[in-house]
Chain A
Amino acid sequence: MAHALGGGEAGYRRPSPGVGQRSLALAKGVGFYVLVILIVAFFLFPTLWVVVTSFKLPVEYFSIPPRWIPEAPTLSHYRKMFVDYNVAGAIWNSVIISAANTIVTLLFAIPLAYAMGRYRVGGAFLPGWIISQRMLPTVAIVLPFFLVFREYRLINTYQGMVIAYAIFFIPFAAWILLGFFEDFPTEIQDAAMVDGASEVSALFRIVLPMLAGGIFVVALLVFVFTWNDLLIALVLTRQETRTLMVFFTAALVSPTQEDFGVAAGAVAIGMIPAYLFALFGQRYLVRGLTMGGLKE
């Protein structure tokens, strides 16, 4: 047990500990676990507090000192959210816009990444341009979007949102996919093409199925990032198309009795895709969040 902890200092192994040393190691082990549990608690607590608050009655979350665990859990905020505040509309908008953007982004990004990965189209310039696009502050990009979309009546439309997000996310998706296509052995595809398959059919029947796992993770990343975006949605949507993140901004305007629980409930729903990703794509978190700066 104490041995499994690997001792205090990284990589040092003490030869055959005596009795005194053994109890010292045990105390260290217990202290270590207490520390880890405290750290885990710190990172979990805010989320838990949000979820728990959404099930509390106003009497409970407006009590001083705060009541930590609800005695009478209630779904009234969720009912209120759906009936009075039309959160379903916001969720629906978020789902539609995120899903449509994921599909459109991949349709454009996969061929681009394939051309860049296999044929080095664009040399060093295209990757460099892609990454510098990604560095721009969003507010600098969203302003011209707003002005141009006003002219073309694309504000407050699904089409407008998907166009804006796709321009934003195609470079990102292509950049991550590029890593997968670069790693893919060309011989496999060449073999299929020698057997008479056209390039497009070899791509669809051989290459893409073999990269399905990676493409799925990129799709998840694009979906979650679109879902999470606040600024673009804030500027380009109005009442009818507003997403769940924009819904947040209205949910806690004044802390009246309902707003607290409703806000907590909406935030809890808003966190679901993040948790789904943590469940299915955690392995690719590092690659996704560093734009392949660190392949792990």
Chain B
Amino acid sequence: MMPTIGYYALVLALVVALLQGVLPLVGLPKNNGKLFAFATPMARIQSLLVILSFIILDYAFYANDFTVYYVATTSNSNLPLIFRLAAIWGGHEGSMLFWVAILAVWTLAVTFFAKELPLRFRSSLLAVMGLISVGFIMFILFTSNPFERIFPAPFDGRDLNPLLQDPGMVFHPPLLYMGYVGFSVAFAFAIAALLDGRLDVTWARWTRPWTTAAWVFLTLGIALGSRWAYYELGWGGWWFWDAVENASFMPWLIGTALIHSLAVTEKRNAFKAWTVLLSICAFSLSLLGTFLVRSGVLTSVHAFATDPSRGLFILLFLVIVIGGALTLFALRAPSVGLGEKFDLVSRESLLLSNNVVLFAATGAVLLGTLYPLLIDAMNMGKISVGPPYFDTVFVAIMVPGIFLMGVGPIANWKKASVPDMAGKLKWALGVSVISALLVPSMMGRLSPMIFVGLLMAFWVMSSVLTSMKIRLDAMPSATLKQKLNTFGRAYNGMLLAHFGLAIFIVGVTMVKGYEREHDITMQSGETKVINGYDFKFEGILPIKGPNYVAKQGQFYVSKEGKQVALLTPEKRLYPVQGAIMTEASISINPVRDIYISLGEELEEGGWSIRVYFKPFVQWIWLGCVFMGLGGILTITDKRYRIKNSA
């Protein structure tokens, strides 16, 4: 009964979404306030219906209702509750419903937090989001219905892929989708502005917090996915330039460009058409990602079960949404004004150069991801494009951008001078170069990659400090406390986010430059010395989990007599799918991870084991967290507070 209600809630949501999408837009030409007034109530009703549908599907997982085909293929009664509930987004159909549910959450947020927007603009905004909802709900109802039934119900479910039975599965997709889908708000802002024919500083001020919020979620979602892969997959890798990873990274890159472009637009009422184009691109890349993951066009570890007919539907949807948006852009953008003046050398132009770099970097990722398809489609053969390409080209493009990142914050708005900035930054440059040589000499090895990476990281850090010092020096008569109070959240957020990127770069550089891998075999009772640490293998313990059995290795790790950690890597068998999983065990530390995973049990007794030393690897994700916190700080700056007074 319940699944049927869930299905019809979705059907009803489609009808309401159509009203939400069409009525306000129909009212635009004659400025019909009555039609505009439909937007908010329809949006709320539609969102609640979608969320209801989602909850009903998740209830089917909770109750082990195997008459629902989707539940039978992705769940199992022995699966721990939290994974049963998270399994809803473990397969294609459920994750599409999740997509629409997250869109519903953002829609509701807009109806509650965007009250200061004029009625006409707000209802156009909600109308655009409604139309996106229409497309996705139709896709679900016609090609990917999660409420399909199976009678008689199987005795038990096929279980969730053991790789997904992890806390990462609980948090990574929600964060990621909040980000992906959240760019639909920025997109809707852009479309509403083009429809309105009005694009100004106020528009930029409205758009910024919503865009930054989506960006924060995406940053944290990608970081969590990376960290999950690191400890789950058994060989300590954290980024593979896989097609689906790239599909989430490209919106992030353009989203970052967009945040910086909005700063220029808000300050100078300038480059508005460009900012609007970036808003369209960010969400278009989200949609493109949805297409790539589900159409079977590219091979990927993450790809859902593929089906060309679904691919065709999504492609058609892309053509309508993105094609429509870009057509509107072509028609309306030429009439958008130029805005105010600023110099060739100024903070504004440096922010725009950030855009150029990020755009080229996104181009690199897009080219690399799609090139195999391009070559194949033109019958020019079959190639693979993997980390050797991306690590080279992407990093090479980003290096000048990161250098400019150090200059931007200390540049004056409107008019900056190169000799002036050079003078301010000489200390930062000197410190960076020396540190980038000092650290490798302490670690015992220097390479060009390590030097450039550390140079970039220290450069950003020292320019953040330089920027703070300049600001503090500008108020000689105030106390330190008073001075810090003037900084404001937006500025602090920027500093923290930039600092976070520097931390990220340190993590990546140190791990890539200094990580070590040891393949060894050990017998029970044996001790081996690796990299200055003593590893004592105390044998294997058989253990039982809720839906698996495992052999758990016991490794006592000590250094100079003091115990550092007890590491317990496992080989698990999940009986339902018959899958064997390798669970690594990691000793985490601010300056290094010790990572151990079991290989195979050997015929002559003993085990093959892999031990990794990964210096500063946690800084990779710590840096991302700082970036996210920085974003949150900027959103809460007082200039974005909803004004309660008239």
Partners in one complex: no
Binding site for B on A (CB under 8 A): none
Binding site for A on B (CB under 8 A): none
